[in-house]
Amino acid sequence: MARIRTVKPEFFRHEDLQDLEASNIGKYPMLVFAGLWTLCDKAGRFEWRPRQIKLDILPFLPFEMEETLNILKDAGFIKKYTSDGKDYGLIPTFQNHQRITGKELQSSERYPAPPEKQKRSTRETPETQPESQEKEKEKEKEKEKERESNTSQDVFILPSWIPKETWKSYLNVRKKKKAADTPYALNLVISELLKIKETHNHDPVEVLNKSITSGWADVYPLKNGGNGNGGSGYTGGKSKTFGQTGGAQSDGEPWPADREY
């Protein structure tokens, strides 16, 4: 049975969760993560039953709950464990998101602890929760400063909606053009693809294929909409993508005004 939980303003500024959401369009990891709070006991544990969870969280949206749970697990937001032959999930930071009070605080934990945690409680007391929350905020601030000072250390995760072979071919083109292949630069490519999709409704894979066949290190809107969707393409002038300085290409050559994007 789902419980009423709270959502703090900081949740909507969680950078890592939003990065995960952007990398997994249509999988809703951010909303599912918050939804799992309502299914947890006071220790942040829940039954790992994807089909049952789907009935409680976003039941009318077409996506595979098990795939989204695995996305959250691989990113470290939740953990999966087995106890007495049954699968369970654990949100390690549950106490940072929720403060348990009233009857629930006095009640026993509903689900068994992970095997490695049997001898040690994972639940913080109400008195220590504010301190834990402050430490978590400090860690987030430190991470944010680190990202701002050295974006080249960002992690790049290829979105599931881009075929690996297509991406591999595109990286070969960038390599020939001597374009940057840092996580930061590649994340900019993904951001630009999403922007083109949102603005022009152009298929990101078609956009990539056009760059591959044309030998471009960057990505641009398709002329005449490509597959017939979206609006008109780029018609010349300065590009708003990366790997460029002013009106020059990443290889130093000026942009041709008659290029067909």
pLDDT tens for residues 107-144?
A: 777 888 888 654 444 333 333 344 455 666 666 666 56
pLDDT mean over 179-196: 91
pLDDT mean over 157-183: 93
164 neighbors 170 (Cβ within 8 angstroms) = no
Model confidence at 243: pLDDT above 70? no
Is residue 139 located within the same domain as residue 42?
yes
Which residues, in sequence order, are CB contacts of 78 under 8 Å at separation 6+?
Answer: 33, 36, 69, 72, 89, 90, 91, 92
CA distance 173 to 215: 6
pLDDT mean over 96-111: 78
* 114-123 contacts at long range (C-beta below 8 A, 24 or more positions apart): 114/79, 114/81, 114/83, 114/88, 114/90, 115/81, 115/83, 121/43, 122/43, 122/44, 122/90, 122/92, 123/42, 123/43, 123/44, 123/95
Model confidence at 166: pLDDT above 70? yes
Report the 10 Å Cβ neighbour count for 3: 13
Is residue 16 located within the same domain as residue 144?
yes
Model confidence at 71: pLDDT above 80? yes
CA distance 63 to 30: 14
| pLDDT tier, 93 (very low <50, low <70, confident <90, very high otherwise) | confident
Model confidence at 231: pLDDT above 70? no
Is residue 138 located within the same domain as residue 172?
no
Q: Per the domain annotation, does 233 fall within a domain?
A: yes
Model confidence at 165: pLDDT above 60? yes
Return the higher-pLDDT residue of 234 and 168: 168
pLDDT of residue 103: 78
pLDDT of residue 142: 67
pLDDT of residue 117: 53
Is residue 44 located within the same domain as residue 133?
yes
pTM equals 0.43
CA distance 241 to 219: 7
22-70: pLDDT as tens digits? 999 999 999 999 999 999 988 889 999 999 999 999 999 999 999 999 9
- Worst-scoring range by mean pLDDT, 89-98, 151-160, 243-252? 243-252
Q: How many domains does the chain have?
A: 2
Q: For residues 95-125, b (16+ Cβ closer than 10 Å) or e, as one string?
A: bbbbebeeeeeeeeeebbbbeeeeeeeebbe
CA distance 25 to 257: 34
Q: Per the domain annotation, does 3 fall within a domain?
A: no
DSSP designation for 17: H
pLDDT of residue 4: 80
Is residue 220 located within the same domain as residue 131?
no
Q: Per the domain annotation, does 4 fall within a domain?
A: no
pLDDT of residue 152: 43
> In 3D, which of 111, 94, 117, 112 has the Cα closest to residue 38?
94
CA distance 241 to 257: 16
pLDDT of residue 210: 94
Q: For residues 12-21, b (16+ Cβ closer than 10 Å) or e, as one string?
A: eebeebebbb
Please give the residue range of the domain that contains residue 113. Answer: 9-149
